[in-house]
Every structure is written in structure tokens, then in C-alpha cells.
Structure 1
Amino acid sequence: MSIDLSGKTALVTGSTQGIGLAIAAGLAAAGARVGVNGRSNRSVARAMEAIRADLPDADLVAVAADVTRDDGVAKALAVLPAVDILINNLGIFGAQPALEIDDAEWRRYFEVNVLTAVRLTRSYLPGMVGAGWGRVQYIASDSAVVIPTEMIHYGVSKTALLAVSRGFAKEAKGTGVTVNSIIAGPTHTGGVEDFVYQLVDKDLEWADAQRQFMKDHRPQSLLERLIEPTEIANMVTYLASPLASATTGAAVRVDGGYVDAILP
């Protein structure tokens, strides 16, 4: 299959590192003009340099804006008034005992992980519908389905994203716009490395720490390893393409078989 996103403009939130950076690179490699988003000019510039190291001709747009805030969304819209592809990747996570998560922390996770995506969808979806073509995706998590005891607040926020995705897919029905969520499994990023070391012996070498983490905390994984960000990006790029025109309202799994279910 040949994925060609030439002529399409994408915005990937939280794309200065990890999964978001891999997604931005994947879309750029397919020919899309990609808005690289982070909170600072420095982080965005660094991410764009990393992408261009492998893709010198990548068509990138700097979107330095804190999209968790209304003024940040306005700033992003000023840079990219319309997009064809919106990837709601931005999110926060961290381990915390369930009974120690206070109301403020619950609100913070809902605000960042859920409402940010809702605001951006509300901003960009009408333009896609008007154009008769568009792609909206939400990067959810296996934690949306298999709620982890060490971060219930994160899991609940990702469960909410699955509902948000399905709801907006219904809003966009029959318009040529597809809306989907990605259930990403345990993925190897810098932030996840820090998270792993919250749960296993900090003196272990990374290879041993990863094995211990998967054995003790993610034993359901059929891969028995962390997923690489590019593996998530491959699915996102496909779903963003015309090839995925019949896939909408779906929660597509890139979880390494972590969720123990036949259906998504």
C-alpha cells in the first residue's frame, strides 16, 4: 500500500517527544504538512530538527502553544486556521496510590487529557465537515480498558476519550470525516522509562528494568516488550490516509495484545 498525504495539513498535539514526535514524523514522511506542537519555541524547534535529520524536505509548521489553555488554542488556530488531520496526542500520566489522588489532580487529568482534545475537535471539525474530508484521532491507551491500579485517574481519562471519539464520529457521520481512537499499549518513551523506574528497582539496567516491569505490571502483553513509538505512528498514519475511509467510530488497538479481548 502507498500512503500519500500530499496536500493535507495535520496538527499533532504534544509532538515534541515520544509518540507525538513519531506521529509527526510519520505524517511528514507520507507527504503531509505537519504542525509540530509544544509549549515552547525551543522544544518545537528541537523536535523539528529531529524530524528533518531523517526527512530534510519535511514540510513542518511550528505551533508553539499550550493547547491546554483557551489562549493556547487561539494561538494554534492563528498559526493553523484549518487542518485536514487532527491528532489529539497530548496527555499526562503518572503513578499515584488511588486513595491519595485528590480532587485537584482528578480535575487536572480530565482537563489536560480530555477537555483539551474536545476543544480542538470543536475548533477544527466544522472546517473538515465543510470541506467534505477530514481525519480526527485520539491517542487513548490500554489503560482505558484495563484500568491500572497505580494510576486510576489516567485510566479514567483515557476511557473518557473513547467515548468522546465515538460521539464525535456520530456527529460527523456521512460527511467524509472519520473519527477514531487508538488504544496504544505500553510504549517505550522517555516518560515511560521514568514511570517504569517508579515501579521497579532503580538500580536495574534498562533492559532488565523493562523485562521486570512487563512481567510484574503488564503481564497481559503478548509482545512481552514495550511498543516502539513508530509502531503507534504507523497505525495513525494509515488511519489518516484515504485508505482508511471506511474506518470511523472505532477504537483501534496497537497494544501488543495487551487487552485480553477478541473484539476491540
Structure 2
Amino acid sequence: MHIDLTGKTALVTGSTQGIGAAIATGLARAGARVGINGRSEGSVAAAIERISGEQQYDLVAAPGDVSTDEGSEQVVRTLPDVDILINNLGIFGAKPPLEIDDAEWRRYFEVNVLAAVRLTRAYLPAMKERGWGRIQYIASDSAIAIPAEMIHYGMSKTALLAVSRGFAKEAAGSGVTVNSVIAGPTHTGGVEDFVYQLVDRDLPWEEAQREFMRLHRPQSLLQRLIEPEEIANLVVYLSSPLASATTGAAVRVDGGYVDSILP
């Protein structure tokens, strides 16, 4: 399957590391011009250097905190028109439910949900006028299987599923597709330390992660952590003309973690 995104411009929020960086790399490899986003110019510049390597990718620095009006406006000024919008930015953290105060609830909604809504409002109208566009929201298995230790995070990811479905209806018949991607337990920064807090530190990494999954994530049918590039593969496909009939969907790349036929 050959995916060619030559001539398309993409923006990936929160793309200086982890899943976002993997998605940006995948889109660039497919030929897209890709906006790399992070809160600071320094982090974005460093990410562009890492992603580029010796490749001649077309990467654009698009710094700005998109969880704020000002940061979103800064990014839109840098990239006034995009064909592909990947709303990847997100925060997470464990906290006892009764200790989550109002400010924390608001912060999770602002960063994980409203940032994506704000950019969708900015870019969807022009996509509809052009008759082509792709918008995606990176959700999580936590949207469906709400984790007891971080229900504020789960709430925000559930909200993204609703946002995605709603904007897909707004884009109906326009040639623009809108989808959410449900990512499962993923091997991102800091996760190895977390795993080794829970399993024998003397185990090699491959064995350690399988032991972690067996003991602490037994629902996974993959029985290992997902690599960011595996999430990116699905996102790149959904960003392509090949996925023209997939819209309004919550597509799972969760390693079978959610024990359900449907999301």
C-alpha cells in the first residue's frame, strides 16, 4: 500500500516527542509538509533536528501553547492553511478522584479537549471550501475503560470521541473526514522507569514489559506495549486519500486492550 501525501500540509500538535513525533515523522516520510508544534521555540527546533536526521523532510516550526487562545493564534499565523490536522496534544497523570480539584478538572479539559476544538474551528471551514481535509483526535483506551486513578484524564478522552463524531457531522458530504484514534498502552518517554517500578529490575526490557502487561495490563491481546510508530501508521493511513470512506469513526489501535467488539 503506497501512501503519497505530496502537496499536503499537516499540523501535529504536541509533536516534539512521543506519539506526536512519530506521527509527524510518518506524515513527513509520506511526503507531507509537516508543522511541528510544542510550547517553546527551543523544543520545536530540537524536535525538527531529531526528526530530520539526514532526511530532507519538509518540516515547519510551529511553536505555541495551543491550550491557550494566544498560542493557538500564533500557530495559525504560522500555518494559516492545513490539509491534515492531528490533535495529539494531551496531558495525563494519576490522582485519587476525590483529590482532583476544580482547577485540575479545568486544566485537563483546556489542554486535552478545548485545544483540539479551537484548532478544528480554525481549520475546518477552509478544508470544507477546498473539498478535502483530514482531522484526527488522538484518544485513548482510557476513553472507554475509565482508569480509577485518573478519571479526569479518562473524561477528557471520552469527550474527544464526542467532539470527533460531532465535527464529522459538521463536515458531512464535504470531502473532509473527521476521526478519532484510540491508542492503547504505548511505549513513550518515562514508561520504562514506570514499568521497572512494578516488575523485577533485573529483567531485560522485552521480558520486563511482557511481565508488566501480564500483571498490570492483562486485557491486552498484544501482550506488549505499543510502539509510537504503530500508532503513527494508522494515523498516516487515515490522513491519506485511501481512507476516504472512513469518517465519524473511533478507530482502535489498542492491541486489543479494550474488551469490546465496538469502541
> Once the two structures are superposed, what CA deviation does each residue of 1:151-186 show, in whole Å capped at 9, x if it has no partner?
111111100000000000000000000000000000
Match of 1:15 in 2: 15
State the Cα distance separating 1:143 from its structure 2 match: 0.5
Structure 1 residue 262 displacement after superposition = 1.5
Match of 1:52 in 2: 52
SS in 1 for 2:261: coil
Call closer, same or farther: CA 1:121–1:94 in 2, change over 3 Å: same
The DSSP-based 3-state class of the residue aligned with 2:149 is coil
Distance 1:48 1:75 in 2: 18
Q: 1:102 to 1:186 in 2, by over 3 A?
A: same
- Structure 1 match to 2:173: 174
Report how far residue 191 of structure 1 moved. Answer: 4.1
Query: Residue 91 of structure 1: CA displacement?
Result: 0.1
Deviation at 1:209, TM superposition (A): 4.9
Q: Percent identity?
A: 75
Residue-by-residue CA offset, 1:173-216 (whole Å, 9 max, x unaligned): 0000000000000000004345546x626956572653343233
For structure 2, the 5+ residue unaligned runs are none
Q: Distance in 2 between matches of 1:60 and 1:151?
A: 34
Matched residue type, 1:15: S
Give the Cα separation in 1 of the matches to 2:32 and 2:20. Answer: 15
Task: Report the counterpart of residue 130 of structure 1 in structure 2.
Answer: 129
Aligned match of 2:63? 64
CA contact (8 A) 2:199 2:212 kept: no
Counterparts of 1:79-228 in structure 2, within 5 Å, are 79-193=78-192, 195-196=194-195, 200=198, 207=205, 209-228=208-227
Counterpart for residue 239 of structure 1: 238
Q: Which moved more, 1:105-114 or 1:202-211?
A: 202-211
- Indicate how the Cα distance of structure 1 residues 191 and 128 shifts in structure 2: closer, same or farther if over 3 A, else same: farther
SS in 1 for 2:62: strand
Q: Take 2:143 and 2:90, find their aligned partners in 1: how far apart are those partners?
A: 13
Runs of 4+ in 1 over 2 A off after TM superposition: 191-197, 199-213
Asked if 2 retains the 8 angstrom alpha-carbon contact of 1:14 and 1:38, the reply is yes
Q: Distance in 2 between matches of 1:99 and 1:215?
A: 29
TM-score by length of 1: 0.95
Which residue is 1:6 aligned to? 6
**1:57 to 1:203, Cα distance in 2 relative to 1, 3 A:** same
Unaligned runs of 5+ in 1: none
Work out the number of aligned pairs and report it.
262
Rate the CA distance shift 1:92–1:193 in 2: closer, same or farther, 3 A. farther
1:200 counterpart letter in structure 2: L
Aligned-pair RMSD on alpha carbons? 1.6
